[in-house]
Amino acid sequence: MTSRNRDYNSAGSVPDVMTIEQLSSYLQLSRSTLYKLAQEGKLPGQKVGKHWRFSKQVIDEWLRGGERGEP
């Protein structure tokens, strides 16, 4: 199974909560860019231990320039 296949469930949909790798694939941005944006508070996410997690719903709102900040 390739990493791209692991990013999404068997139906091909994006998970409700994404890892940095899944978000990178979803947004077509490098992981280093996403880490930088998240650490600066410019990308909505939650750090769980040493790992970042991102809500698809919140990311989609962020992309549209919703209440949680401008992209």
Confidence of residue 13 (pLDDT cuts 50, 70, 90): confident
- pLDDT exceeds 60 at position 27: yes
- pLDDT exceeds 50 at position 5: no
CA torsion angle 55 58 60 66 (round to 10) = -170
Tokens coding 40: 């600066």
CA torsion angle 26 58 35 32 (round to 10) = 20
Residue type, 61: E
Kindly state the average pLDDT of the residues 13-42.
96
HSE at residue 29, side-chain half, CA atoms within 13 A, is: 13
Domains of the chain (ranges; CATH) run: 3-63 (1.10.1660)
Q: What is the pLDDT of residues 32-53, one digit of tens each?
A: 999 999 999 999 999 999 999 9
2 vs 27, residue with greater confidence: 27
